């Protein structure tokens, strides 16, 4: 079966009740393709507001969750809690969690496994810094991050891999379609060798890194680009254009 294109909107630490209402209204009124799976991820405090107000064909994701279901972990949110309020997805391993909050590959692997066991679908993020790319360590870095997932993930059915070159996040720099395709193809090859041919063929691989309404359609043409994880542009009306990038081909 062909892999269904998926577009995620990561709002990060942005938004208010009023601004998120405007974003949701824009989505609700948009002419969204039925051929694309769409997921938006507001800050934790607004998850319930967005889930209750956004159209039913748009799913909602948490931006993180902990590797335990309960306990004395002040400030953390459990996957089970996300499920309890009707959230279907979670983003894990984002470069900002790795870089700013120093989450290790192993910690992220444990989080992914626990989230899956709790019934969430996971956007599992991997990606290299500019320094690692210039040192020709892109594959080494990405494969190491993936390996931590393989260590803990038993079933890849509800996992989407999000490749996010750190040097292209929020910088305005975008990996060329060829650069994105090259890494996505390598990821698929690694999954085939280290998990199974079935998982490699069926797992969707998203691209994230300054995707916008102007470059989305071109990136979407690449064979192994199965979607986008969008940051800043998901806070703008052009997010609808990005969601429909594949459908316009």
Please compute, for residue 103, the number of CA atoms within 13 A of its CA located in the half-sphere on the CB side.
Answer: 23
Give the confidence band of 247 by pLDDT, cuts at 50, 70, 90.
confident
Taken in order 71, 76, 79, 80, the sign of the CA dihedral is positive
In tens, the pLDDT along 181-196 reads 999 999 999 999 999 9
Tokens of 99: 């870089």
122 contacts 64 by C-beta, under 8 angstroms? no
C-alpha closest to that of 87 among 100, 95, 74, 78: 78
Q: What mean pLDDT do residues 5-28 have?
A: 98
Is 134 a known active-site residue?
Answer: no
The domains located in the chain, with CATH, are 5-243 (3.20.20.70)
99 vs 56: CA distance, rounded Å: 34
Q: Which of 94, 128, 184, 222 is catalytic?
A: 94
Query: To which residue do tokens 């996957």 refer?
Result: 79
What pTM was estimated for this model as a whole?
Answer: 0.96
The better pLDDT of the pair 6, 131 is held by 6
Give the confidence band of 249 by pLDDT, cuts at 50, 70, 90.
very low
pLDDT for res 152: 97
End-to-end CA distance of the chain: 19
Q: Which of 37, 128, 164, 222 is catalytic?
A: 164
51 contacts 41 by C-beta, under 8 angstroms? no
pLDDT for res 168: 82
In tens, the pLDDT along 143-167 reads 999 999 999 999 999 999 999 998 8
8's enclosing H/E stretch is: strand 5-10
195 contacts 155 by C-beta, under 8 angstroms? no
Is 94 a known active-site residue?
Answer: yes
In tens, the pLDDT along 124-146 reads 999 999 899 989 999 999 999 99
Question: With the CA atoms of 63, 30, 3 and 80 taken in that order, what torsion angle do they form, in degrees rounded to the nearest 10?
Answer: 30
pLDDT for res 32: 96
């Amino acid at each position: 079966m062909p892999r269904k294109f998926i577009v995620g909107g990561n709002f990060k630490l942005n938004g208010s009740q009023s601004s998120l209402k405007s974003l949701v209204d824009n989505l609700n009124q948009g002419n969204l393709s039925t051929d694309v799976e769409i997921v938006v991820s507001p800050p934790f405090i607004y998850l319930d507001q967005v889930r209750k107000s956004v159209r039913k064909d748009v799913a909602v994701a948490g931006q993180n969750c902990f590797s335990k279901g309960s306990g004395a972990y002040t400030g953390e949110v459990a996957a089970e809690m996300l499920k309890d309020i009707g959230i279907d997805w979670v983003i894990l391993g984002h470069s900002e969690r790795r870089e700013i909050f120093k989450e290790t590959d192993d910690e992220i692997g444990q989080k992914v496994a626990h989230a899956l066991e709790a019934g969430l679908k996971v956007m599992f993020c991997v990606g290299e810094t500019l320094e690692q790319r210039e040192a020709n360590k892109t594959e080494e870095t990405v494969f190491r991050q993936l390996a931590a997932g393989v260590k803990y993930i038993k079933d890849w059915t509800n996992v989407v891999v999000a490749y996010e070159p750190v040097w292209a996040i929020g910088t305005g720099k975008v990996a060329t379609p060829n650069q994105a395709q090259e890494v996505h193809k390598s990821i698929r090859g690694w999954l085939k060798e280290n998990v199974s041919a079935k998982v490699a063929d069926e797992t969707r691989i998203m691209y994230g890194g300054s995707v916008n309404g102007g470059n989305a359609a071109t990136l979407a043409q690449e064979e192994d680009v199965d979607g986008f994880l969008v940051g800043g542009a998901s806070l703008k009306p052009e997010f609808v254009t990005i969601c429909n990038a594949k459908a316009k081909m």
